[in-house]
Amino acid sequence: MANYNVCTLPGDGIGPEIIAEGIKVLDAVGAKYGATFSYDERLIGGAAIDATGNPLPEETLEAARTADAVLLAAVGGPKWDTTDSSKPRPEQGLLAIRKGLGLYTNLRPVRTFAALSDASSLKPEVIDGVDLMIVRELTGGLYFGKRERFFDEDGAGADGAKGQRAYDTLEYREYEIERIARQAFEMAKVRNGRVHSIDKANVLDTSRLWREVVHRVAAEYPEVELIDMLVDNTAMQLIAYPRQFDVVVTENMFGDILSDEASMLTGSLGMLASASLGDGTALYEPSHGSAPDIAGRGIANPLAQILSVEMMLRYSFDMADAADDIARAVAEVLDEGWRTGDIKQADTDPNQVVGTERMGDLVV
């Protein structure tokens, strides 16, 4: 009987509430498919800052490294918000664990659930049948480049007084582009055979290198169609014609922005999962944040967390049938009319508006 060790990171806000439902569902499919899961719960984010002063304690990273997969809920909250850059912030724990595990690929599936197609502010005929996968580079680019903020002579402008000045550096190496491109083409091969590569090659040198390398990798995948698209055009196309996209591959910051945009196609952030893959342990988490405004009330939507368990089964444990079961269970629960508060619709039966735990039970 297969036994997998899952490092669980509840984090902050609604994190502990939703991760409990993810674990419940994982245990249920384990029972059905003859796999057992053991859990190693660790600290990250604000909870880790409070306990240790460090948003990613060394023992958390070590536990994550040696686990078969990492299930994360969410980090952050107003308690730790600060503009003082010398103070630790929960989000640093996220960046550090991505870097520490070498997670250079972030996968964000965006799929329309038929039962929720009127949750989007876009017309049903635009979003019906949307099923795309954003493949975002996660450990390079602007968020990890050399940066500085300082006072200097011309920082304040014309009067010559000293003022503040800041810069961030956007840098990519060939091998970083090559490995993310390969992930995207591999993904397209088992999906619908199309890759949109997003850049700003009319302005940026990093984008010109990106385009060159992606085309070189594309030559190894003649069965996959490659389309280059500028990032500004993509922002528009995603809203106007989202069905044209299958796999969308892009660098770190463009991917951050476009994946938030794409997440709203379906109308609810509470429904979207994500996976971060590298060469070692992979990490699975909902796309949404820690929702501090509703934390501790038992009303958070656990479905994005549950769908992140689906991705874990698919990409880390090679349990595609179990993953399909979860996807189907979620769709059925929604088809039957069950809703958490964030996804309830005008015609939802008030008796079918349920809390976090009940929603998890329904999926089970």
Instruction: Tell me which residues in 9-38 interact with ligand ATP (CB under 6 A).
Output: 14
Cα angle, residue 135 at apex, residues 181 and 105 outer, rounded to 5°: 75
Cα angle, residue 184 at apex, residues 314 and 18 outer, rounded to 5°: 40
Query: Number of residues in contact with ligand ATP, rule: CB under 6 A?
Result: 14
Asked if 347 is an active-site residue, the reply is: no
Asked if 27 is an active-site residue, the reply is: no
Which CB atom, from 188 or from 300, has the smaller least distance to ligand ATP? 300
Helix (H), strand (E), coil (C) string for 153-209: CCCCCCCCCCEEEEEECCCCCHHHHHHHHHHHHHHHHHCCCEEEEEECCCCCHHHHH
Instruction: Tell me which residues in 266-295 interact with ligand ATP (CB under 6 A).
Output: 269-270, 288-291, 293-294
At 22, list the tokens: 């993810």
Which CB atom, from 251 or from 342, has the smaller least distance to ligand ATP? 342
295 is in an annotated binding site: yes
Q: What is the DSSP string of 228-282?
A: EEEHHHHHHHHHH-GGG-SEEEE-HHHHHHHHHHHHTTSS-GGG-EEEEE-SS--
CB contact at 8 A, 234 and 226: no
Asked if 256 is an active-site residue, the reply is: yes
Instruction: Tell me which residues in 43-82 interact with ligand ATP (CB under 6 A).
Output: 76
Asked if 324 is an active-site residue, the reply is: no
Catalytic residue among 50, 205, 232, 318: 232
CA distance 364 to 362: 5
191 is in an annotated binding site: no
Instruction: Tell me which residues in 204-243 interact with ligand ATP (CB under 6 A).
Output: none
Q: Is 360 exposed, middle or buried (0-12, 13-18, 19+ CB in 10 A)?
A: buried
CA distance 152 to 20: 51
Cα angle, residue 176 at apex, residues 175 and 182 outer, rounded to 5°: 85
Asked if 200 is an active-site residue, the reply is: yes
Which CB atom, from 43 or from 300, has the smaller least distance to ligand ATP? 300
306 is in an annotated binding site: no
**Does 342 help bind ligand ATP (rule: CB under 6 A)?**
yes
Smallest distance from ligand ATP to CB 241, Å: 26
Smallest distance from ligand ATP to CB 267, Å: 12
296 is in an annotated binding site: yes
Q: Which residues would be at the binding site for ligand ATP (CB under 6 A)?
A: 14, 76, 269-270, 288-291, 293-294, 300-301, 304, 342
List residues with catalytic annotation: 143, 200, 232, 256, 260
Indicate the annotated binding residues for NAD(+).
Answer: 289-301
Indicate the annotated binding residues.
Answer: 98, 108, 136, 232, 256, 260, 289-301
